[in-house]
Chain A
Amino acid sequence: MQASVEQSGAPADKILPLYEINRATEQEKQTIRNDVALTDEQKAQKLETVQTARENALRKVLGEEIYQRFLQQNTKP
Protein backbone atom coordinates (compact mmCIF):
# COMPACT_ATOMS: atom_id res chain seq x y z
CA MET A 1 0.00 0.00 0.00
CA GLN A 2 1.31 3.39 -0.97
CA ALA A 3 2.36 5.55 1.94
CA SER A 4 0.35 8.73 2.00
CA VAL A 5 -0.34 11.71 4.21
CA GLU A 6 -3.40 10.11 5.73
CA GLN A 7 -1.82 6.65 6.02
CA SER A 8 0.98 8.13 8.03
CA GLY A 9 -1.52 9.96 10.25
CA ALA A 10 -1.71 13.66 10.87
CA PRO A 11 1.35 15.34 12.36
CA ALA A 12 0.89 15.62 16.13
CA ASP A 13 0.35 19.37 16.09
CA LYS A 14 -2.33 19.10 13.40
CA ILE A 15 -4.52 16.46 15.00
CA LEU A 16 -6.70 18.71 17.13
CA PRO A 17 -7.08 21.47 14.52
CA LEU A 18 -8.13 18.85 11.96
CA TYR A 19 -10.52 17.33 14.45
CA GLU A 20 -12.01 20.78 15.11
CA ILE A 21 -12.51 21.31 11.38
CA ASN A 22 -14.25 17.96 11.11
CA ARG A 23 -16.41 18.72 14.12
CA ALA A 24 -17.46 22.14 12.89
CA THR A 25 -18.14 20.79 9.41
CA GLU A 26 -20.23 17.93 10.70
CA GLN A 27 -22.26 20.21 12.97
CA GLU A 28 -22.91 22.58 10.11
CA LYS A 29 -23.94 19.75 7.80
CA GLN A 30 -26.25 18.40 10.46
CA THR A 31 -27.93 21.76 10.89
CA ILE A 32 -28.46 22.05 7.15
CA ARG A 33 -29.83 18.51 6.80
CA ASN A 34 -32.27 19.10 9.64
CA ASP A 35 -33.50 22.47 8.38
CA VAL A 36 -37.06 21.83 7.26
CA ALA A 37 -37.29 25.29 5.72
CA LEU A 38 -34.74 24.39 3.05
CA THR A 39 -35.50 22.58 -0.19
CA ASP A 40 -33.30 19.66 -1.24
CA GLU A 41 -31.65 21.90 -3.79
CA GLN A 42 -30.91 24.58 -1.20
CA LYS A 43 -29.54 21.94 1.13
CA ALA A 44 -27.26 20.63 -1.59
CA GLN A 45 -25.97 24.14 -2.30
CA LYS A 46 -25.33 24.86 1.35
CA LEU A 47 -23.63 21.52 1.90
CA GLU A 48 -21.35 22.28 -1.02
CA THR A 49 -20.48 25.64 0.54
CA VAL A 50 -19.66 23.90 3.81
CA GLN A 51 -17.46 21.44 1.96
CA THR A 52 -15.57 24.27 0.28
CA ALA A 53 -15.08 25.96 3.62
CA ARG A 54 -13.75 22.70 4.99
CA GLU A 55 -11.22 22.44 2.19
CA ASN A 56 -10.08 26.02 2.78
CA ALA A 57 -9.67 25.33 6.47
CA LEU A 58 -7.71 22.17 5.72
CA ARG A 59 -5.40 24.11 3.43
CA LYS A 60 -4.80 26.60 6.19
CA VAL A 61 -4.07 23.99 8.84
CA LEU A 62 -1.97 21.64 6.74
CA GLY A 63 -0.08 24.30 4.86
CA GLU A 64 0.05 24.56 1.08
CA GLU A 65 2.68 21.87 0.48
CA ILE A 66 1.06 19.11 2.53
CA TYR A 67 -2.38 20.15 1.33
CA GLN A 68 -1.35 19.83 -2.32
CA ARG A 69 0.21 16.43 -1.62
CA PHE A 70 -2.98 15.45 0.12
CA LEU A 71 -5.03 16.56 -2.90
CA GLN A 72 -2.85 14.63 -5.31
CA GLN A 73 -3.21 11.47 -3.27
CA ASN A 74 -6.95 11.81 -3.12
CA THR A 75 -7.83 12.95 -6.62
CA LYS A 76 -8.97 10.19 -8.88
CA PRO A 77 -7.30 10.32 -12.35
Chain B
Amino acid sequence: MSPPVSRTNNEGAPAERKPSGGARARILLVDDDPVNQMVALGLLRRHGWEAVAAANGKDALQILAKQSFDLILMDLQMPEMDGYQTASVIRQIEAQSSSASGARETTDAVGERTGQRGGRVPIIALTTASQPGVREKCLTAGMDDYLTKPVSPADLYAAVEKYLGSNPK
Protein backbone atom coordinates (compact mmCIF):
# COMPACT_ATOMS: atom_id res chain seq x y z
CA MET B 1 0.00 0.00 0.00
CA SER B 2 1.41 3.36 -0.91
CA PRO B 3 1.24 6.01 1.77
CA PRO B 4 -1.65 8.43 1.47
CA VAL B 5 -0.68 11.75 0.02
CA SER B 6 -2.09 15.01 1.21
CA ARG B 7 -2.89 17.08 -1.80
CA THR B 8 -3.13 20.78 -2.27
CA ASN B 9 -6.07 22.25 -4.04
CA ASN B 10 -4.64 23.33 -7.33
CA GLU B 11 -6.85 24.83 -9.91
CA GLY B 12 -7.66 22.77 -12.92
CA ALA B 13 -10.35 23.17 -15.50
CA PRO B 14 -12.31 19.98 -16.03
CA ALA B 15 -11.54 19.18 -19.61
CA GLU B 16 -14.19 16.96 -21.09
CA ARG B 17 -12.97 13.53 -22.08
CA LYS B 18 -14.71 10.80 -23.91
CA PRO B 19 -14.38 7.21 -22.90
CA SER B 20 -12.11 5.25 -25.17
CA GLY B 21 -14.58 2.44 -25.66
CA GLY B 22 -15.53 -0.67 -23.73
CA ALA B 23 -16.86 -0.66 -20.19
CA ARG B 24 -16.19 2.54 -18.35
CA ALA B 25 -14.66 2.47 -14.91
CA ARG B 26 -17.29 2.81 -12.22
CA ILE B 27 -16.88 5.01 -9.19
CA LEU B 28 -19.04 5.14 -6.08
CA LEU B 29 -19.11 8.52 -4.40
CA VAL B 30 -20.21 8.45 -0.76
CA ASP B 31 -20.98 11.94 0.51
CA ASP B 32 -23.93 13.37 2.39
CA ASP B 33 -23.51 16.89 1.03
CA PRO B 34 -25.66 17.24 -2.08
CA VAL B 35 -23.58 20.08 -3.47
CA ASN B 36 -20.41 18.04 -3.12
CA GLN B 37 -22.26 15.22 -4.87
CA MET B 38 -23.29 17.45 -7.74
CA VAL B 39 -19.78 18.77 -8.23
CA ALA B 40 -18.01 15.43 -7.92
CA LEU B 41 -20.46 13.52 -10.10
CA GLY B 42 -20.25 16.24 -12.72
CA LEU B 43 -16.46 16.18 -12.70
CA LEU B 44 -16.19 12.40 -12.81
CA ARG B 45 -18.70 11.97 -15.60
CA ARG B 46 -17.16 14.78 -17.57
CA HIS B 47 -13.91 12.83 -17.44
CA GLY B 48 -15.59 9.76 -18.87
CA TRP B 49 -16.09 7.69 -15.75
CA GLU B 50 -19.39 6.29 -14.61
CA ALA B 51 -20.28 7.66 -11.20
CA VAL B 52 -23.00 6.88 -8.69
CA ALA B 53 -23.63 8.68 -5.40
CA ALA B 54 -24.64 7.42 -1.97
CA ALA B 55 -25.63 9.77 0.86
CA ASN B 56 -24.08 7.77 3.70
CA GLY B 57 -22.41 4.52 4.59
CA LYS B 58 -25.61 2.51 4.85
CA ASP B 59 -26.71 3.66 1.41
CA ALA B 60 -23.27 2.81 0.09
CA LEU B 61 -23.43 -0.75 1.42
CA GLN B 62 -26.87 -1.20 -0.11
CA ILE B 63 -25.61 0.01 -3.48
CA LEU B 64 -22.49 -2.16 -3.21
CA ALA B 65 -24.70 -5.18 -2.63
CA LYS B 66 -26.23 -4.67 -6.05
CA GLN B 67 -23.55 -3.08 -8.18
CA SER B 68 -19.81 -3.41 -8.63
CA PHE B 69 -17.34 -0.52 -8.62
CA ASP B 70 -13.70 0.05 -9.45
CA LEU B 71 -13.14 2.79 -6.89
CA ILE B 72 -14.87 4.37 -3.92
CA LEU B 73 -14.59 8.03 -2.91
CA MET B 74 -15.59 8.19 0.74
CA ASP B 75 -16.52 11.23 2.79
CA LEU B 76 -15.57 10.71 6.42
CA GLN B 77 -18.16 12.66 8.34
CA MET B 78 -21.62 11.44 7.49
CA PRO B 79 -24.84 10.65 9.35
CA GLU B 80 -26.00 7.06 9.91
CA MET B 81 -22.62 5.47 9.22
CA ASP B 82 -19.43 7.48 8.77
CA GLY B 83 -16.63 6.88 6.30
CA TYR B 84 -14.36 5.04 8.71
CA GLN B 85 -17.06 2.59 9.74
CA THR B 86 -18.16 2.07 6.18
CA ALA B 87 -14.64 1.40 4.93
CA SER B 88 -14.05 -1.06 7.78
CA VAL B 89 -17.22 -2.94 6.96
CA ILE B 90 -16.34 -3.10 3.26
CA ARG B 91 -12.87 -4.47 4.07
CA GLN B 92 -14.29 -7.04 6.50
CA ILE B 93 -16.75 -8.23 3.91
CA GLU B 94 -14.04 -8.40 1.24
CA ALA B 95 -11.81 -10.38 3.61
CA GLN B 96 -14.57 -12.83 4.48
CA SER B 97 -15.45 -13.19 0.84
CA SER B 98 -11.81 -13.74 -0.12
CA SER B 99 -11.04 -16.27 2.66
CA ALA B 100 -14.08 -18.32 1.69
CA SER B 101 -13.20 -18.28 -1.98
CA GLY B 102 -11.78 -21.82 -2.18
CA ALA B 103 -14.95 -23.86 -2.33
CA ARG B 104 -17.24 -21.02 -1.83
CA GLU B 105 -20.59 -20.10 -2.89
CA THR B 106 -20.56 -16.51 -1.87
CA THR B 107 -23.63 -15.50 -0.02
CA ASP B 108 -22.51 -12.05 0.81
CA ALA B 109 -23.59 -9.73 -1.94
CA VAL B 110 -21.24 -6.87 -1.08
CA GLY B 111 -18.21 -9.13 -1.00
CA GLU B 112 -19.23 -10.61 -4.28
CA ARG B 113 -19.74 -7.23 -5.92
CA THR B 114 -16.59 -5.58 -4.63
CA GLY B 115 -14.66 -8.73 -5.43
CA GLN B 116 -15.72 -8.81 -9.03
CA ARG B 117 -13.14 -6.27 -10.08
CA GLY B 118 -10.06 -7.61 -8.38
CA GLY B 119 -11.06 -8.42 -4.81
CA ARG B 120 -10.15 -5.16 -3.15
CA VAL B 121 -11.70 -1.91 -4.22
CA PRO B 122 -9.50 1.14 -3.63
CA ILE B 123 -11.09 3.59 -1.22
CA ILE B 124 -10.05 7.24 -1.23
CA ALA B 125 -11.18 9.28 1.75
CA LEU B 126 -12.50 12.81 1.38
CA THR B 127 -11.56 14.81 4.45
CA THR B 128 -11.62 18.33 5.73
CA ALA B 129 -8.26 19.80 6.61
CA SER B 130 -9.19 20.25 10.26
CA GLN B 131 -9.50 16.58 11.09
CA PRO B 132 -6.53 15.50 13.23
CA GLY B 133 -4.86 12.12 12.80
CA VAL B 134 -6.82 11.53 9.65
CA ARG B 135 -4.07 9.66 7.81
CA GLU B 136 -3.68 7.02 10.51
CA LYS B 137 -7.40 6.64 10.98
CA CYS B 138 -7.93 6.21 7.25
CA LEU B 139 -5.25 3.53 7.05
CA THR B 140 -6.61 1.74 10.08
CA ALA B 141 -10.06 1.70 8.54
CA GLY B 142 -8.64 0.15 5.38
CA MET B 143 -8.63 3.15 3.10
CA ASP B 144 -5.88 3.64 0.57
CA ASP B 145 -5.50 7.38 0.19
CA TYR B 146 -7.15 10.64 1.03
CA LEU B 147 -7.99 13.98 -0.51
CA THR B 148 -8.66 17.22 1.29
CA LYS B 149 -12.01 18.84 0.55
CA PRO B 150 -13.01 20.72 -1.41
CA VAL B 151 -11.16 18.57 -3.89
CA SER B 152 -9.95 20.45 -6.94
CA PRO B 153 -10.67 18.93 -10.35
CA ALA B 154 -6.94 18.39 -10.95
CA ASP B 155 -6.44 16.59 -7.63
CA LEU B 156 -9.55 14.49 -8.09
CA TYR B 157 -8.49 13.34 -11.54
CA ALA B 158 -4.93 12.64 -10.40
CA ALA B 159 -6.10 10.53 -7.48
CA VAL B 160 -8.62 8.54 -9.48
CA GLU B 161 -6.16 7.98 -12.31
CA LYS B 162 -3.57 6.78 -9.81
CA TYR B 163 -5.84 3.87 -8.96
CA LEU B 164 -7.68 3.33 -12.20
CA GLY B 165 -5.09 4.34 -14.75
CA SER B 166 -5.47 7.35 -17.02
CA ASN B 167 -7.98 5.64 -19.25
CA PRO B 168 -11.61 6.16 -18.29
CA LYS B 169 -12.19 2.55 -19.32
Contacts and interface: CB of A to CB of B under 8 A. Distances in A.
Nearest to B156: A19
Interface in A7-54: 7-12, 14-16, 18-19, 21-23, 26, 30, 33-34, 54
A33 B53 CA distance: 28
B130 A11 contact: no
Interface stretch (B18-26, B84-92, B104-112, B145-153): B145-153
Chain B interface residue number, banded:
20 to 34
Contacts, number: 73
Interface of A: 1, 4-12, 14-16, 18-19, 21-23, 26, 30, 33-34, 54, 58, 70, 73-74
Contact of A9 (B42, B128, B130): B42
Contacts of B167: none
16 contacts: A6-B53, A7-B37, A9-B41, A9-B51, A11-B42, A15-B42, A15-B153, A16-B13, A16-B14, A16-B153, A18-B39, A23-B150, A23-B152, A26-B129, A26-B149, A33-B130
Given A15-B43, A15-B46, A5 B16 contact: no
B129 A10 contact: no
A30 B130 CA distance: 7
B39 A10 contact: yes
A46 B2 CA distance: 39
